[in-house]
Structure 1
Amino acid sequence: MYLEKLAEGKTEIGESGLPPRPPENFDMTKFDRGRKFIQDHVICHVLAMFISLVCGMSVVNLLEPLIFTNNSDTPNKAYRRYISTFMHVTKWYYGNIWEENNKAQTSILTVRNMHNKVRKDMTAHEAKIKNSESVDIDSLNHERIASCPMAMKDVRLSQYDMSLVQTGFLGIVVMYPRFVGIDCTEAELDDFVYFWYGVGYMLGITDKNNICKEGFHITRDICKEIEQQILIPSLENPPSQFYPMAKAFIDGGNIAHKNKLNSVESVLAIGYHGMNVKLPKLSFMDYCRYLFLRGFVIVIYYCPPVKKLFNKIIRHFFWDSSVLEKKMN
């Protein structure tokens, strides 16, 4: 029901053109409550985004830009890319995206501009391919893009694609808060959704394609449709580049942290568990990794001091301290 309406955005570029200031009648108090909710459960949001990212790579619309930009195909490049992404997101969590010259606004406008650049580059690249008589022109990038089954469409990073991206950031928390260690009320989730409405607006998503525009219940229903009609079918029949890209991301984290705590298979298993889908067959080690992740969630759900400790660690490294940011630059 909702997907059909969102799909109308496939022909519209994912840039509203609206200025970086709050929309009319914006409820800043509600937005700030949503931001505080994230801060109180930030370790849970990290886990949710981690699972969403791995599972979401199976969706062609989300995978194609990652392949095209060529910044995520090796463990080192993938680790740097996704740490950089999380550094941006934490600025939105702790800063003020509405305040000019605030680190959070600078960050979100940087991401918005990056999306616009990737869109223009992908569009220009495809036009070059279509107009070229040479098979070899830009062959490396051509092969990467051609490996995705939807490699030739008119609008890249469309409003529809941005709706799917938005779902990846909040879908798990909206649908399954306890699954990632959050004990909360629907009112708190409604505030959380409103926060992401504001973030989506600042990223250039139109109200028609902003899945958070109508509040918690509608947003949850939209996320369920996307899960059932797009994500699960994509996981059952992923594009050929899904596993190499997902493995590069997982291996990057393992190498950086000097362990083999995660694998593509164990993270997918956690995702399947959350969606109440039958688990794939796992090796003994992958099953142990899967149980460890489940155990970690149980600990942060039932032991608030542990959650607070991880929240403080994340805030220190990604917001209060500039050490990690300097290291990445």
Structure 2
Amino acid sequence: MHAHTTEVNNKSVNDAQAEEYLDNLLKNGSQEGDSGAELELPSWYDEQLFKRGQKYFSKYRFVMTSGMLAGLIAVLAIPSILRVLICTRQSSNCLTAYRRYVRTILHTQAWYFHPIEDRSSKFWTSIAAVRKAHSRSSKMSTRCGAGQITQKDLAITQFGFIGFITVGAHRIQLYDEDFLEATSHMWRVLGYLLGIKDEYNVCGKNWAESKQRLEIVMRKVFRPALSDTNNDFYRMTEALIHGLWHINTMFSVNANIYFTKRLAYVKGYEYYSFDYLPGEKFDPLQKSYYNDLNLWDRFIVNYGLFIVTYLHKYSLIRWYFNFRVLLVDFFMYYLPCFAIWNFGIKTAYVRIFKSGGQAQEIQLNLKEE
């Protein structure tokens, strides 16, 4: 009895801390821009934990990449972020979306594959380039009336990169505590380096705190936003998927939206019996949006969910799908055939570093009023 009471008390303390974090993020975090912190490692940085976080990408590449894609789609449902993207015209058509999201993939890979301990490595070049690009986009979107990029926007985008794969790990039978601890620490460090203050960072001082923050952001920010999406969201997602289709032809707009909304527990997007939040259950009156999908989209949904839910736990299957992602990445970098066919050679090749190792400048296009 006593243990049960302690558990209940701990839960209410944790819930209160999570609510406090979210209130602060939504109220104060929406008034502040970049933290202004120097590009130096924070005092709480743990080298061993960070490096273990980097290594896990090779082990879980397929599901982590899938989770990030869902996160990128989910972020488009957040009005303040969507306004900045529309204003800077970085991803509003197939070509600009292709180039922007391939750059995003290459930067993320630079953070996972280059050494953080070497200050001259591409890890730091990439971090500095992204921070600079955020600063320019923020000034530009302020000029055209869409508002600056705030701490809230940065933290919500940070969720896009690791939220679904960490808080959703149990849904794909991934019970690796060290993966969760190391990944959340790694992204806490990345968030800090990209200008997020500790009080707004969606990753806390350990996995227990990160989990509270990630879960409340998913439930109270992403779930409502994805339950009420508009034409702008659909148009930008369509541009994203049509752009990335050039590197993976299995992508489909409606199937990928379905995956994303299911991950955020949006009602009507349940596929398995465990696709409900605690305290919620099957509602016979709820429309199932699966029925709106065409045959090809249903095939992608069935195939994708069966693999990650039931087969991914086997190392041989994991190895096979990780290898497929590796192959896709190889062609994306060295021989983007479909992109060359559609956009021409010069535009199809996307690079974030010059041959000397310096960062490539990102061209921003201010939306014509």
- TM-score range, shorter-chain basis? 0.7 to 0.9
Q: Post-superposition shift, 1:199? A: 0.6
Q: Post-superposition shift, 1:299? A: 6.2
Specify the alignment match of 2:228 in structure 1.
237
User: Which is worse superposed, 117-126 or 306-315?
Assistant: 306-315
Q: Post-superposition shift, 1:163? A: 0.9
Q: Tell me, in whole angstroms, the C-alpha distance in 2 between the residues paired with 1:190 and 1:178.
A: 14
Asked if 1:51 is matched to 2:70, the reply is yes
Is the 1:62–1:161 Cα contact (8 Å) retained in structure 2? Answer: yes
Is the 2:219–2:264 Cα contact (8 Å) retained in structure 1? Answer: no
The counterpart of 2:166, out of the listed 161, 169, 174, is: 174
Q: How has the CA–CA distance of structure 1 residues 283 and 23 changed in structure 2, closer, same or farther, with 3 Å as cutoff?
A: closer
Asked if 1:292 is matched to 2:303, the reply is yes
Q: Tell me, in whole angstroms, the C-alpha distance in 2 between the residues paired with 1:161 and 1:302.
A: 33
1:172 corresponds to which letter in structure 2?
Answer: F
Specify the alignment match of 1:264 in structure 2.
253
Q: Post-superposition shift, 1:49? A: 0.7
Is the 1:20–1:98 Cα contact (8 Å) retained in structure 2? Answer: no
The counterpart of 1:160, out of the listed 144, 152, 157, is: 152
Specify the alignment match of 1:130 in structure 2.
none
Q: Tell me, in whole angstroms, the C-alpha distance in 2 between the residues paired with 1:98 and 1:77.
A: 33
The counterpart of 1:278, out of the listed 268, 273, 277, is: 268
Specify the alignment match of 2:182 in structure 1.
191
RMSD: 2.5
- 1:205-255 CA-to-partner distances (Å, cap 9, x unmatched) read 111111213221222222222222221211222243111111111122334
Q: Tell me, in whole angstroms, the C-alpha distance in 2 between the residues paired with 1:321 and 1:266.
A: 22
Q: Post-superposition shift, 1:33? A: 1.4
Q: Post-superposition shift, 1:316? A: 6.7
Q: Tell me, in whole angstroms, the C-alpha distance in 2 between the residues paired with 1:318 and 1:101.
A: 24
Q: Tell me, in whole angstroms, the C-alpha distance in 2 between the residues paired with 1:232 and 1:174.
A: 16
Q: Tell me, in whole angstroms, the C-alpha distance in 1 between the residues paired with 2:330 and 2:115.
A: 12
State TM-score, norm by structure 1. 0.82
1:307 corresponds to which letter in structure 2?
Answer: R
Q: Post-superposition shift, 1:263? A: 2.7
Q: Tell me, in whole angstroms, the C-alpha distance in 2 between the residues paired with 1:236 and 1:305.
A: 36
Q: Which runs of 5+ in 1 are unaligned?
A: 127-150
Q: Tell me, in whole angstroms, the C-alpha distance in 1 between the residues paired with 2:316 and 2:127.
A: 31
Asked if 1:226 is matched to 2:209, the reply is no
Q: What SS does the aligned partner of 1:328 have?
A: coil
Higher normalized helix content (fraction of residues): 1
Q: How has the CA–CA distance of structure 1 residues 85 and 324 changed in structure 2, closer, same or farther, with 3 Å as cutoff?
A: farther
Q: How has the CA–CA distance of structure 1 residues 292 and 226 changed in structure 2, closer, same or farther, with 3 Å as cutoff?
A: same
Asked if 1:327 is matched to 2:330, the reply is no
Taking CA–CA contacts closer than 8 Å with sequence separation of 6 or more, which of the two structures ends up with the larger relative contact order? 1
